Every structure is written in structure tokens, then in C-alpha cells.
Chains A and B, each alone.
Chain A
């Protein structure tokens, strides 16, 4: 009787004894999760800090204000909330909700994803300035930022697009949330992590000392979305409160290389030349999309190996699971005890592989498009008379304000 496997509905193997002493069993303790009210409070804090920092940047033009708000966000969203819930990770929940009807996305996650997008559409990336805890922790470490060459920035700036594409692919196929998995700072926020996480986090912070905000500029997938939206934002910060006097004091003030310099008047003559270059480059974009898509599709099996089901199917395909003399991995042991047949698993894995093949085409095509547009963008000619922040790359951190000697006509 000891060795019979007990099915769930068969009742207990040993009935509970009748206690003579009238002993009462204690209740199983089931502590409740964090209350939903506190989740809504997080959304309230998000809206408040976003509004406050937007006001600080646009009306008060105060770097000090931005700094203290960023410290608050770092403490609240970072160390108190331990990095979860965050807008960057919400990309994956949103994707999963769009592709998997079985997943019901919580309202707070929608709020964390959508609200910063709206603020960016109206006021630029004030979310990055000091509400995002990941940005805030790097900003604190930006002690001795060194300028990067434009071409280095352009090339590294392609990484976030690839990262965004990959994370969407894995979220859409219900495989994995890679953004959360490789979040470099969540271990620091929790003060508890694996060695790998701590090392990556520490490396990022060390890098931040010399290359300001490396994660925000060269990895953050949410930054990609905000960058694109911010390009068409209704209002955006300007370095000078009134009129630029070309004193060049702000030229090197931006630690993120997000200030565009004026273009010399003589270059206007090159406009038609630049236009020709732009047209030629635009023509190779479809080619790049196709090559990218084809390459992505070729690697779809490798991409799919991240999926645990596909990995298990491959493992089982390569091992003889009937051989009882072998020591199996936990996955195979669990699979054997689940009573599912290998054929069923293969069928499921094949369906996932098909998704990945389509996903590989789309991901590769997307990367090709981004490469093409970046290439074409190099030749876009835009005449500028003043020093202006690059609307896409600027984090609205308000550092450049202090360098401008022009004071507003009426004190605010």
C-alpha cells in the first residue's frame, strides 16, 4: 500500500485520526499578496512624479529639481518596489496580451506602459529624465562622462532596436521575458541576486562613470519607443530659454551626446547632392529588409531553442527515454511522469517552430529596415542655426540649462 501512487481524487491514504483529547487542527496559513490598492498607488506615484518632473524641466528649468525627483524614483520604484513593476518590462506584458488571448494583462501594467508614452508625445522624454529607476541609478554614477564619436553612437544605437525586436519575438511566442531576465539593475535594487546579475549590474554602473547612461542609450528597448515618439513631441526642451547667442558654452555640456550643432551656411549648397544620396540609400532599404528577413528565418530554429518546450522536444529526440539504466535530466523525468506522449510534444514544438519561422522573417526584416533607415538618415540634411537638443536622444535631464548664459526675460 505504501508504494501505490495516489491519485488526487482517491482520498487520503491515511485518514485523519480521531483525537481523544479533542485536539483541533490548526489552519494552514495563507499570507495574502501585496494588496491591489498599493498597486494603484504605484500608478498614482508614477503620474505624480512624471507631472512634477515635467514641470521642473519645462517651467522651472531646474536641474536640482530633476535630480531630487530622480533620487526619489530610484528609492521608490527601485529600492522600495525592487524594480518590478517597470515600464520597460511592460513591453513584454503588452506583447503577450496582444498575441496570447489567454493572458489577461493587469490594469497597472497597461498604465505603466501607456502613461509615459503620452507624456513623451507631449513633452519629450521626461520619463527618462528621472522617473525610470534604471535611468536614475545610472545618472547618479555619471561622474566623468566622456564624449563618444558620432559613428560609435550610431552603431551602438542599433542594439536597442535588435533587443526590442528579440524581446517582442520571445514575448509574442510566450517563451520568455528577456528584458526582465537581463535587467542589469534589478539585482542591485533587491540587494540580492545571482553572481551573474551582480556582475552585469556592477559593470554597467562602472561604465556609467565614463559613458553616461549606457543602458538607456545602447540597450533600453523602451527607450527606442520613447525616442521615436519624442521626435514628434509637441513641446520639447530648448537649451536656451529665449534666443541662442551662439556662445558655444553648452557645446560639450550634454553627457549623452544629444546636442546637435548648428550647420554651416555653406553646406546648404550641398542639399541636392544629399537628396540624391538619400534616394539611392532609400532604394537599398527593401533589399536590406529582404536579406534581414531571410537571415532571420534561417536562424529560427536557434532562436526557438530558448523556448523550454522546443528544448525539451530536442532533448527527447536525442535521448532514448525508454532506457531505464540512464540518469535523465529533471525535464525528461518530469515529462515521463506527466504521461504525455513524445508525439504530442513534437507536434506542439513544431507549432512553436512555425511561429518562430514567421517571427524570424519579421524580426530580420525589422532589423534590416532599421539598418537601412539609419544609413539613409546619415544623409538627411537638416539646416540648423542654433544649438538644439536632439529630440529623439535627449533625456530632458536639464543639465545643459545651467550652461546657457541667457536668462529668461521674465523670471518664473
Chain B
């Protein structure tokens, strides 16, 4: 379009040129993104091998209580008589009395298996993800209690607010196909 044309036409022409180039730009941006796309959805998960049980999972999640909960990996459990995840370290009586329990919300329940073994279960409704039991189990036992993002609770924020404050950098986006990471799970899988 030449300069002699009416002003309004020139403006239309410029608009049209810019519009077409913006369209091309958006399309090519989409193309570049698609070429790098992972396809499957990503979810947040923490790596128990890196976790230091600082307790921030309990306080930093956008949900109250947190979507991070203690998860009991049963086939790693050593069925310790003095369960480091269940009892306070200095406890005298190995009973279910509140003063003997480590969990601040009594979220760990135990069921009798046979003398002298008990099995420990996590009541997810009560668990706040503070990681106290995880620390105890890891220090004195096999480390079968591990913190994990529970995906039926997690709202999968674009940027996990716990990941931002995790001192051990244990959080990462993982593929939805393998949404849980267990420490030592594969090696000890006997079942």
C-alpha cells in the first residue's frame, strides 16, 4: 500500500500486518512448546532420600492440614519392638498411652499381629505431615515411615508452596505415571 492512500487505510494496513505477524508468532511459540511438551501431566512429589524432616511440610502447604502425610511402606517395616516412629525415645512403658506416643495427633494406630509384633497404620485424617515419626523411624528403625505427597488430597498447585521452602530441595515435579517415590522400596520388595 502506497503513501498516497487515505490515512485510515494505512492504519488498517499496519494493523493487518501486525495482526498476521502476531498470529504467526503465537503459532510458532505453540509449535516450539509442543516440541518440548512432556505430554503427560506433572505432579509434585518429595524424595524421602533427600527429606530431612524439618517439619515445614506441616506448616507450608496451602491446605490445612497438609497434603503431605506420613506413608507407611509396610514391606520395609522391621516390626521393631520399640518402634521409633510410634514411641517417644524416652518412654518407659510400651503402651498406647498418650504420653508414650511420639505423634502429636495420635495419627499412628497399631494393631496386634502376633507376639511380639505390632503393625502400624497411619490415620490420614489425623496426620498433619510433621515428620516426627519419620525422623524416629529413620533414626532407630528401617525408615519405613516416609513423608509423601498424597495425591488424592494435593491440589497440585502450579508452584508447590512447600517446595519453595524445603531446605533439602527434596520436592520436584514427577510424571503422573509414577507419582510416588519410596526410599528403598524396590530393593526390599519381597512380596
Contacts and interface: CB of A to CB of B under 8 A. Distances in A.
B76 to A, nearest CB: 6
B40 interface: yes
Nearest to A108: B41
Given A33-B179, A93-B158, A334-B168, A13 B37 contact: no
A17 B23 CA distance: 66
Contact of B32 (A29, A98, A108): A98
A84 B164 contact: no
B74 A20 contact: no
Nearest to B79: A17
Select the residue from B52, B63, B64 with max chain A CB neighbours within 10 A: B52
Interface stretch (A134-142, A200-208, A228-236): A228-236
Given A12-B76, A232-B22, A233-B19, A97 B33 contact: yes
Contact of A23 (B33, B52, B114): B114
A12 B184 contact: yes
B94 to A, nearest CB: 16
A408 interface: no
Interface in A181-222: 181, 186-187, 190, 192-193
A104 B164 contact: no
A12 B75 CA distance: 10
Contact of B78 (A13, A29, A101, A177): A13
Interface in A14-52: 14-17, 19-21, 23, 25-34, 36, 39
Given A34-B156, A121-B26, A25 B41 contact: no
Interface residues of A, number: 73
B158 A177 contact: yes
A110 B30 contact: yes
A341 interface: no
Contact of A21 (B26, B74, B114, B121): B114
Contacts of B75: 16, 25, 28
B64 A192 contact: yes
Given A104-B36, A121-B19, A11 B188 contact: yes
**A25, A114, A181, A186: which has the most chain B beta carbons within 10 Å?**
A25
A119 to B, nearest CB: 11
B42 A12 contact: no
B143 A25 contact: no
Most chain A Cβ neighbours within 10 Å, of B15, B33, B161, B169: B33
A331 B36 contact: no
A233 B50 CA distance: 50
Interface stretch (A2-10, A240-248, A289-297, A365-373): A2-10
Contacts of A20: 114
A255 B92 CA distance: 70
Interface in A63-105: 82, 84-86, 89-90, 92-94, 97-98, 101, 103-105
B79 A337 contact: no
Contacts of B30: 110, 114
Contact of A190 (B39, B63, B71, B138): B63
Given A16-B75, A23-B114, A28-B71, A107 B187 contact: no
Contacts of A333: 52, 54, 167
A114 B32 CA distance: 12
A303 interface: no
Interface in B27-64: 29-30, 32-34, 36-43, 49-50, 52, 54, 56, 62-64
Interface of B: 15, 18-19, 22-23, 26, 29-30, 32-34, 36-43, 49-50, 52, 54, 56, 62-64, 71-80, 113-114, 117, 119, 121, 138, 140-143, 150-152, 154-159, 161, 164, 167-169, 173, 176, 179-180, 182-184, 187-188, 190-191
29 contacts: A8-B183, A11-B188, A12-B78, A14-B80, A16-B79, A19-B113, A21-B114, A25-B77, A32-B151, A33-B151, A86-B158, A89-B158, A89-B159, A94-B29, A104-B38, A106-B37, A110-B33, A110-B34, A114-B30, A117-B26, A121-B26, A177-B159, A232-B15, A232-B22, A308-B169, A329-B167, A330-B52, A333-B52, A334-B52
